[in-house]
Structure 1
Amino acid sequence: MSANGLIMDSPSLMLEKLENIKELDALERVDGCVPFSHQVAGHKNGLNNTGVLQHPDGTILKHLQPPPRGPREMLFYKQVYDKDCTDVRLLVLQKHLPKFYGTWAPRESPHELYLKLENVTRRFLRPCIMDVKIGRRSYDPFASHEKREQQIKKYPLMEEIGFLLLGMRVYQINSESYITYDQLYGRSLGKETVENGLTTFFHNGKDIRRDAISLIISKIKSILRWFESQTQLHFYASSLLLVYEGSAHRVNGMKHRRVETDSQYNHGSLTRSGRTHSEPYCTDLSLSERNINGTRGGSVEDCENVGMKHQKEVGLEEGVEVKMIDFAHVFPSDGPDESYMYGLRNLLSNLEQILKN
């Protein structure tokens, strides 16, 4: 690893990886779980301090942090995904989070709990992944003075920039290998260079993936709209997980399906179930949901351009994903989350600037 936080997944690391085989074999015997190969940031704890694990059924397992952080995050997921939930804002929020499948514990350590979550990268062949911490501060209102000073010292520009690149893995199509950047790289970026850091994430060694940037911008805007509509929660030290398909062959296949979808859409809007509608079909949950009193939320005007949005969903949009993650510091509020929205808007501004350049 170099001083700037860059790591090459190349033959130079093969010896180190081979030396770790015995440890991995031991972990594979723990209920079939193995270390999650696509983790780019976050805590290393749980079984043998490996960090996030992958369950044999394809889900991922995030070790529950010590109180109060771990129980708070678990309660957040349980509230959002409660089968009896009638809170419209939380129901809309579900589409921006990994799916939650409850908790899991290894047979030999039944009190060592893990959150069982959707593997957001599972459908990707060569996932390019970035973890971006969002907000003007990464400590919550109840943090001690020492904790606040510690977090500010880690990245003094957090308040001004509003986000921090915690880590990323970028697939290089020419070498057919990954380049990994850790949080040291993210902390080295200033106001004038953070755009370059974002550009690095979308550069596959040959081109800048402008198609992925455009689709990710669309998903981040959807998250921003949710924050603009709610005043009940504030998020601290929470992240966005950005993923796009790095395989050129897979992306070309998606483009081919997009052409077919365009033709199908001209004869009626294709739904997720395969049925067709002659009327516009609204795929945005925030627009198509029913309110608690049974009335329809949103109007015909809200569904403007929904045909184009749905074409993306069926085609190229399969090649990107954006999810909110890390909820150990989510608290009730009585006003808008200006800190998180500031970070989202600044992130969007930088991504849009990359497209203009």
Structure 2
Amino acid sequence: MEENLITEVGDNGVLHLPALPCGTKPLSHQVAGHRYGVGKTKLGFLQNEDGTILKPVQSPPRGQRELDFYKRVFNPENINPILIKLRNLMPKYLGTWTSPETPGVVYMRLVDVAHKFRKPCIADLKVGPVSYDPEATPEKIEREKLKFPPALECGYQMIGSRTYEPETGEFHSANKVYFRTLNKDTIASEGLARYFTQGGKLRKDVIRHVLCKLQEIEHWFNIQTELMFFAMSILIVFEGDIQLEEKSENNQSYNSADSNHVGCVNGYSSIDDEVEVKLIDFAHVFKTDKKDMNFLAGLYGIQMHLKMLLKM
């Protein structure tokens, strides 16, 4: 679709799409979430020419809640040490953004976590056995439960992924439809393993690094008793533009003898610049006075499955 196209022809005639703001285009490496041209509003993630991501503020109360949360966390006058530590675990918020083409649409401008990567391999994992918030209607609760029932046991669900294949120069993608065909016994072997596999080899070096990053997230959730998060995701990005042979020779082997060992130095491993792990989606954040055990249960499930992959 050309950048300035505002209509498209569908089966029943012409469907009107919101005009794309000047200097933007639909997010090319999106794996989940609202997509431009799809859904009721047709609004979706955009990428700006300056390398940032534009996320449209959703309808209230979800959209305003997420916007307020970003503003609170990244307020330069904020002195809450818990929220200050949280900044490093989120995409950086750069304020709101509007355009003359769509003056009624407000976007949140965020740093694109994948922008620095040549061939970003991306996965979106929704964390927590419970994905509905305390204000959800009975109908909403039932819909959420039916989306991926195994989440009650494994603690998380995969929403989307894409992995670069160096041998073919193509990305292999999977969406929520595929992942919802899995169960608690196959989500690790056919979900996570699918995402972390390049050239027929499991990227255990990346998995070890992701586990190191998850330790930092786990630490934050174990010290905070102010917030609880529902339907929040962990976004994982790793560099896919790597020659597998060179990687095996110059770094530790993908299937080395100590491949099940997670060696974190100050919370990070040796390929820090080639892996990012961030918390995203804050439309369902609520106050609390206790640990967020729902999120922690999901996080522990992810960590357990990643450690299982290291033993494969």
Q: TM-score range by the shorter chain?
A: 0.7 to 0.9
Q: Which has the higher helix share?
A: 1
User: Does structure 1 conserve the Cα–Cα contact (< 8 Å) formed by 2:212 and 2:268?
Assistant: no
Pick closer, same or farther for the CA change 1:212–1:76 going to 2, 3 Å: same
* 1:26 aligned residue: 5
User: Does structure 2 conserve the Cα–Cα contact (< 8 Å) formed by 1:245 and 1:251?
Assistant: no
User: Offset of 1:251 from its aligned partner?
Assistant: 10
Give 3-state SS (helix, strand or coil) of 2:198's partner.
coil
- Distance in 2 between the 1:33 and 1:320 partners? 26
RMSD: 2.5
User: Offset of 1:159 from its aligned partner?
Assistant: 1.6
Q: Letter of the aligned partner of 1:343 in structure 2?
A: G
- Distance in 1 between the 2:4 and 2:213 partners? 38
- Equivalent residue for 2:210, pick from 209, 216, 227: 216
User: Offset of 1:189 from its aligned partner?
Assistant: 1.3
User: Offset of 1:161 from its aligned partner?
Assistant: 1.4
Say which is worse superposed, 44-53 or 62-71, in terms of deviation.
Answer: 44-53
Pick closer, same or farther for the CA change 1:109–1:251 going to 2, 3 Å: farther
2:177 is the alignment partner of 1:184: yes
User: Offset of 1:309 from its aligned partner?
Assistant: 3.8
2:51 is the alignment partner of 1:44: no
User: Offset of 1:110 from its aligned partner?
Assistant: 2.0
User: Does structure 2 conserve the Cα–Cα contact (< 8 Å) formed by 1:45 and 1:63?
Assistant: no
2:60 is the alignment partner of 1:67: yes
User: Does structure 2 conserve the Cα–Cα contact (< 8 Å) formed by 1:240 and 1:322?
Assistant: yes
* 2:283 aligned residue: 328
- Distance in 2 between the 1:205 and 1:148 partners? 40
* 2:132 aligned residue: 139
User: Offset of 1:29 from its aligned partner?
Assistant: 6.3
User: Does structure 2 conserve the Cα–Cα contact (< 8 Å) formed by 1:99 and 1:117?
Assistant: yes
* 1:58 aligned residue: 51
- Distance in 1 between the 2:67 and 2:310 partners? 38
* 2:143 aligned residue: 150
Larger radius of gyration: 1
- Distance in 1 between the 2:267 and 2:153 partners? 36
Q: Letter of the aligned partner of 2:237 in structure 1?
A: V
User: Offset of 1:61 from its aligned partner?
Assistant: 0.3
- Equivalent residue for 2:73, pick from 80, 91, 99: 80
Q: 1:122-133 to 2 correspondence within 5 Å?
A: 122-133=115-126
User: Offset of 1:49 from its aligned partner?
Assistant: 2.2
- Distance in 2 between the 1:195 and 1:117 partners? 30
2:193 is the alignment partner of 1:199: yes
Q: Letter of the aligned partner of 2:199 in structure 1?
A: G
Unaligned runs of 5+ in 1: 1-19, 259-304
* 2:14 aligned residue: none
Say which is worse superposed, 37-46 or 148-157, in terms of deviation.
Answer: 37-46
Q: List 4+ stretches of structure 1 deviating above 4 A.
A: 45-48, 249-253, 255-258
Give 3-state SS (helix, strand or coil) of 1:241's partner.
strand
* 2:299 aligned residue: 344
- Distance in 2 between the 1:163 and 1:310 partners? 23
Q: What is the TM-score normalised by the length of structure 2?
A: 0.86
User: Offset of 1:310 from its aligned partner?
Assistant: 8.2
Q: Which has the higher strand share?
A: 2
* 1:165 aligned residue: 158
User: Does structure 2 conserve the Cα–Cα contact (< 8 Å) formed by 1:251 and 1:319?
Assistant: no
User: Offset of 1:257 from its aligned partner?
Assistant: 10
**Number of matched residues?**
287
- Distance in 1 between the 2:225 and 2:140 partners? 26
User: Does structure 2 conserve the Cα–Cα contact (< 8 Å) formed by 1:173 and 1:206?
Assistant: no
- Distance in 2 between the 1:251 and 1:54 partners? 33
After superposition, what is the alpha-carbon deviation per residue over 1:35-83, rounded to whole angstroms, capped at 9, x for unaligned?
Answer: 1101100123589825210011110000110000000000000010010
User: Offset of 1:320 from its aligned partner?
Assistant: 0.4
Say which is worse superposed, 94-103 or 155-164, in terms of deviation.
Answer: 155-164
- Distance in 1 between the 2:267 and 2:277 partners? 17
User: Does structure 2 conserve the Cα–Cα contact (< 8 Å) formed by 1:174 and 1:206?
Assistant: no
Q: Letter of the aligned partner of 1:203 in structure 2?
A: T
Unaligned runs of 5+ in 2: 7-18, 253-262
User: Does structure 2 conserve the Cα–Cα contact (< 8 Å) formed by 1:131 and 1:166?
Assistant: yes
Pick closer, same or farther for the CA change 1:199–1:257 going to 2, 3 Å: closer
2:310 is the alignment partner of 1:355: yes
User: Offset of 1:153 from its aligned partner?
Assistant: 1.1
- Equivalent residue for 1:233, pick from 227, 232, 235: 227
* Percent identity over paired residues: 38
* 2:11 aligned residue: none
User: Offset of 1:113 from its aligned partner?
Assistant: 0.3
User: Does structure 2 conserve the Cα–Cα contact (< 8 Å) formed by 1:129 and 1:243?
Assistant: yes
User: Does structure 2 conserve the Cα–Cα contact (< 8 Å) formed by 1:135 and 1:340?
Assistant: yes
Say which is worse superposed, 57-66 or 156-165, in terms of deviation.
Answer: 156-165
Give 3-state SS (helix, strand or coil) of 2:177's partner.
helix
User: Does structure 1 conserve the Cα–Cα contact (< 8 Å) formed by 2:163 and 2:198?
Assistant: yes
User: Does structure 1 conserve the Cα–Cα contact (< 8 Å) formed by 2:209 and 2:268?
Assistant: no
